[in-house]
Amino acid sequence: MNPFAHTRAVMRLVHGQLVHWTRDLLLDAGVEGAGVFPSFQDERTAGDHLVVMAYKMGPWPKLVESDRPVNLVVRTEDRTAGVPRLWAAVGQGLRAAVEQLFDPASAPGGRAMPAVPLAQMPAPLAAWYAAQPEDPEAGWTLRSGDALYGRLPSLVWNRPLTVRTYYLVMASDAAARAGDPLDSFAVPALGVITVGLQLRRSFDVTLPPMNPGPQLFGYLGAISEAVGGELGARLISMRDELSAPQVHRVTVVPVPDLPADDFATVMRSLNRPLQPAVHVAVQLGIGGGPSFGAGAAPQMVQSFG
């Protein structure tokens, strides 16, 4: 799933879960007959209900995030803040496997070269490389003379963009329209939402897996078989976890009230009468994620071992 398709899926699920969060608060308050909708309804037939309407979305707190991507396969423990635990662990596991299979101490200068002859690789990993198409610019393998070399992996975490979506929660009150203030729905219902923002200000949403393509799963399988043991089993376990949906906690943020003129402008643009509302927002990171591929292509390849 590309970043745009993943963003669409995430925003759809979070939006729907916010509506469910609002409905659950009403049910816990003993309000069972009122609906909660993401858009305005026909008030003549909808009865008492809440509308949870998104009206503004934008990056927060700045237009472009300044953090650079993080290569999780190199030693960057001090820069993995904000990287999901699972993806940081996958990077560490790949690095440990590369170091175990291609000991940097035996390489020229004490550092592993960015490409290794397939003849010096364990059979499962060499077979995986041999099955990849040759491409001197972006491929996993390259030739030097008669020897075929495999480039070591790169797993990069691209920092997501922090986006905040603003909502107005508004009540449609049939009793108030009928002139019965004692049976009012709007003010008690919005009071429940206001208290919920303090006592239950988050919800869990199950998001689709964020993976950079099938090559990562194939590579994890091959390198785990090559290293074996506890490390190989851990890589397989992480591979299986990567393909499963992830549970993410989203915080519902109370937002200071809109200035009266701004609120009136919003209501006029919606062609709605002035009515009570609660102002909330949800904030999450979208559009980033992992990118897996071959590492840098060396200008000159040296054998070690």
Instruction: Return the closest-CA partner of residue 74 out of 86, 91, 52.
Output: 91
Could you list the pLDDT tens digit for every one of the 305 residues in the chain?
Answer: 678 888 899 999 999 999 999 999 999 999 887 888 888 777 666 677 889 989 888 887 754 455 678 888 876 555 666 788 899 999 999 999 998 988 755 444 445 567 888 998 999 999 999 998 877 666 898 888 888 889 889 999 888 888 999 998 988 876 555 556 666 788 889 999 999 999 999 999 998 888 777 899 999 999 999 999 999 999 999 999 998 888 889 999 988 877 667 777 777 777 777 677 899 999 988 888 898 988 876 554 444 34
Instruction: Return the closest-CA partner of residue 216 out of 228, 208, 224.
Output: 224
Cα–Cα distance, 240 to 42 (Å, whole number): 47
**Which is it for the CA torsion 282, 285, 241, 99, positive or negative?**
negative
**pTM (2 decimals)?**
0.77
